[in-house]
């Protein structure tokens, strides 16, 4: 009898689980100052520290995506790099810049991880192993963002325009990790047909992407090879976080801004 | 073992009630509020806790001047009451309500009790005034056919506040098969929706973009406030108005 009760409760629980697996409601979107934030918690909790809350906006206001995701070697998936304090102290990953000696805009970049921690250090630890006042981070964000061109979604910043107008000047070269690359001729913008009749075609601009990404962020892994048409993908896969969705929805402007890609007037 | 038997009984009842739609009461929708209160909400995320009255917000008042898109896409208001992190400082910085309520576009934030009054029926006299306009009327919800009223120009809500981003035009009308025999299909006009909404209000969170790939899309869940029910029990015309989606519906269709 006891076993029967157990089985029935199990079946009921499973059924209830299926019934309550909801999909048909809106997801909550992060506020502008949290869009693109990545919480990294591979080793932090075990070391008795708060997880690292990494702010993309603050880094991309200074550096291109390429510098971290190609030259320094950060994976594109949150937490997949498995950065250890020891790596940072040796000058890898975060420690490439956060080494206590690098300067940015004549200001010293604070040093990442250390072996011993004093009360002075604690304050420094908390900068990344984030505890406490999100209000201050929010304030810092809006102080930066308020003067930049606006977009509707994501951070609420039109990064593309901000870069074009020289309001942000992302650095694309870090001595010691970056290599001098021969300049490639930038391809002209081209149109990609939408699969649904009546949807405007997509205008893809290499130029807008290479400013931030060079070639290597997308080719050859995400978009196989370099020949147009050799990678087959659909909007549904993009929504699932593949292809364009690797960046767009996570850090780059989210996919809900349809018209930013589907721009070609329907003829 | 009466105790265990009782547990099984309760669990079985739970199974029937939770998983299968209770068909007898299936269409007994909640009673509708009076027209002047339809779509009104009380926003109380922090208000009561902070010692002020909840904010009375009226959808019919705002949608005369702005489409749903402006607040729910551009200004990033969530679709669920009291979940948006509206704060006094955010409003004062020109976000959320403060995007308009700044003393320039709409009244400023010095008039506290105009919003913080805790009365869901606040501003009823304005509703009477609204009805004097040449609006197309219906019998449901707030009694106004907003889609038709927008088309005939009786209301001309603004689609964008700051950004002038153009949404891609897409007007395809879909015919959606009903789940049950005898039920006529639902007609879904994209145009009536895109007049008010951005693509992203519905896609891809609520509906996938490919027909028949939206999982669990069914009437019981719609009636519970998912899918179409995200708007069509709260603000957009309520589902008592069966024929507006299922135009070929007759009293015969619901006879079991």
Enumerate the residues of chain B whose CB falls inside 8 A of the CB of residue A262: 168
The predicted structure's pLDDT at residue A236: 92
Q: Inter-chain contact B198–A256, Cβ cutoff 8 Å?
A: yes
**Does residue B76 carry a pLDDT above 50?**
yes
Range B60-64 average pLDDT: 97
What residues of chain A lie within 8 A of the CB of B226, using their CB?
Answer: 22-25
Q: Which of A151, A255, A258 sits opposite B163 (nearest CB)?
A: A151
Contact A23 B171 (CB under 8 A): no
DSSP states along A168-224: ---B---TTT----PPPPPPPPEEE--SSTTSPEEEE-HHHHHHHHTTTTTTTTTS-
C-beta atoms of B12 and A8 within 8 A: yes
Task: Say if the Cβ atoms of A29 and B76 lie within 8 Å.
Answer: yes
Question: Residue A168's pLDDT band (boundaries 50, 70, 90)?
Answer: very high
DSSP string, B122-187: TTHHHHHHHTTS---B-SSTTSB-HHHHHHTTS---BS-SS--PPPPP---EEEE--SSTTPPPEE
pLDDT-wise least confident of A224-228, B122-126, B161-165: B161-165
Kindly list the residues from chain A whose CB atom is less than 8 angstroms away from the CB atom of residue B19: 15-16, 18-19
Give the position of tokens 């909801």: A22
A69 phi/psi in degrees, rounded to 5: -85, -10
Q: What is the pLDDT of residue B19?
A: 40
The mean-pLDDT minimum among A2-16, A214-228, A247-261 falls in A2-16
d(CA B237, CA B144): 8
Evaluate if residue B14 carries a pLDDT over 50.
no
Q: Give the pLDDT confidence score for residue B202 in this predicted structure.
A: 94
Residues 6+ apart with CB under 8 A from A10: none
Per-residue pLDDT of B196-237, as tens digits, reads 999 999 999 999 988 888 888 999 899 989 999 999 989 999
Q: For residue B205, list chain A residues with Cβ-Cβ distance below 8 A.
A: 25-27
| Contact criterion met (CB < 8 Å) for A29 and B73 | no
pLDDT tens by residue, A55-106? 999 999 999 999 999 999 999 999 999 999 999 999 999 999 999 999 999 9
User: What's the start-to-end Cα distance of chain B, in Å?
Assistant: 39
Predicted confidence at residue A186, as pLDDT, reads 84
Q: How far is A55 from chain B (nearest CA, A)?
A: 20
Residue A79 sits at the chain B interface (C-beta within 8 Å): no
Q: Which residues of B touch A11 (CB under 8 A)?
A: 15
Taking the C-alpha atoms of residue A2 and residue A22, their distance in angstroms, rounded to an integer, is: 32
> What residues of B are in contact with residue A149 (Cβ under 8 Å)?
none
Is this complex's ipTM strictly greater than 0.95?
A: no
The rounded distance, in Å, linking the Cα atoms of A136 and A50 is 17
Q: How far is C-alpha A148 from the chain's CA centre?
A: 19
Name which of B163, B167, B216 is nearest A258 (Cβ-Cβ).
B167
As given in the structure block, the two tokens for residue A91 are 């000058």
Q: By the CB < 8 Å criterion, does A199 face chain B? A: yes
E strand or H helix at B40, and its extent? Answer: strand B40-43
End-to-end CA distance of chain A: 70
Q: Which residue of A has its CA nearest to B202?
A: A26
Q: What is the pLDDT of residue B22?
A: 39
- Burial label, B58 (beta-carbon count in 10 A; 0-12, 13-18, 19+): buried
Kindly state the average pLDDT of the residues B108-137: 95
Pairing mode, strands B186-189 and B173-176: antiparallel
When CB atoms are compared, the residue of B4, B172, B215 closest to A5 is B4
pLDDT in tens, A94-116: 999 999 999 999 999 999 998 87
| Mean pLDDT for chain A overall | 89
Interchain CB contacts (distance < 8 Å): A and B: 121
* HEC readout, A96-140: HCCCCCCEECCEECCCCCCCCCCHHHHHHHHHHECCCCHHHHHHH
């Amino acid at each position: 009898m006891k076993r029967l009760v157990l089985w029935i409760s199990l079946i009921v629980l499973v059924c209830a689980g299926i019934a309550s697996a909801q999909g048909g409601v809106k997801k909550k979107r992060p506020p502008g100052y949290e869009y693109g934030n990545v919480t990294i918690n591979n080793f932090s909790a075990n070391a008795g520290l708060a997880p690292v809350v990494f702010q993309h906006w603050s880094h991309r206001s200074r550096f291109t995506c390429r510098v971290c995701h190609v030259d320094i070697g950060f994976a594109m998936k949150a937490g997949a790099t498995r950065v250890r304090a020891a790596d940072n102290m040796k000058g890898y990953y975060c420690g490439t810049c956060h080494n206590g000696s690098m300067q940015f805009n004549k200001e010293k970049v604070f040093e990442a991880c250390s072996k011993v921690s004093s009360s002075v250090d604690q304050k420094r630890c908390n900068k990344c192993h984030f505890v406490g006042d999100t209000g201050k981070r929010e304030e810092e964000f809006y102080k930066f963002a308020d003067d930049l061109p606006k977009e509707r979604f994501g951070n609420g910043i039109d990064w593309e325009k901000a870069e074009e107008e020289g309001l942000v000047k992302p650095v694309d070269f870090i001595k010691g990790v970056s290599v001098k690359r021969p300049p490639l001729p930038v391809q002209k913008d081209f149109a990609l047909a939408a699969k649904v009749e009546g949807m405007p075609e997509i205008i893809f601009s290499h130029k807008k992407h290479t400013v931030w990404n060079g070639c290597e962020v997308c080719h050859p892994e995400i978009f196989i090879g370099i020949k147009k048409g050799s990678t087959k993908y659909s909007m549904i896969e993009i929504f699932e976080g593949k292809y364009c969705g690797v960046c767009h929805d996570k850090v780059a402007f989210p996919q809900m801004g349809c018209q930013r890609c589907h721009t070609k007037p329907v003829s | 073992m009466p105790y265990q038997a009782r547990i099984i009984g309760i669990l079985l009842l739970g199974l029937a009630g939770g998983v299968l739609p209770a068909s007898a009461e299936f269409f007994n929708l909640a009673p509708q509020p009076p027209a002047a209160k339809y779509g009104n909400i009380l926003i109380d995320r922090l208000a009561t806790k902070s010692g002020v009255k909840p904010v009375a917000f009226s959808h019919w008042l705002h949608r005369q001047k702005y489409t749903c898109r402006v607040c729910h896409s551009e200004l990033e208001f969530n679709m669920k009451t009291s979940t948006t992190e509206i704060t006094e400082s955010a409003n004062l910085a020109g976000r959320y309500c403060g995007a308009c309520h700044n003393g320039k576009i709409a009244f400023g934030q010095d008039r506290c009790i105009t919003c913080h009054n805790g009365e869901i029926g606040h501003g009823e006299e304005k509703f009477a005034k609204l009805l004097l306009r040449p609006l197309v009327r219906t019998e449901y919800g707030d009694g106004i056919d907003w889609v038709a009223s927008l088309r005939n120009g009786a209301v001309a809500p603004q689609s964008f506040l700051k950004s002038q981003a153009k949404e891609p035009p897409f007007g395809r009308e879909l015919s959606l098969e009903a789940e049950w025999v005898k039920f006529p299909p639902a007609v879904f006009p994209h145009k009536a929706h895109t007049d008010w909404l951005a693509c992203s209000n519905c896609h891809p969170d609520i509906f996938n973009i490919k027909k028949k790939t939206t999982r669990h899309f069914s009437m019981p869940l719609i009636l519970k406030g998912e899918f179409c029910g995200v708007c069509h029990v709260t603000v957009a015309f309520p589902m008592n108005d069966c024929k507006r989606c299922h135009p070929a519906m007759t009293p015969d269709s619901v006879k079991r």
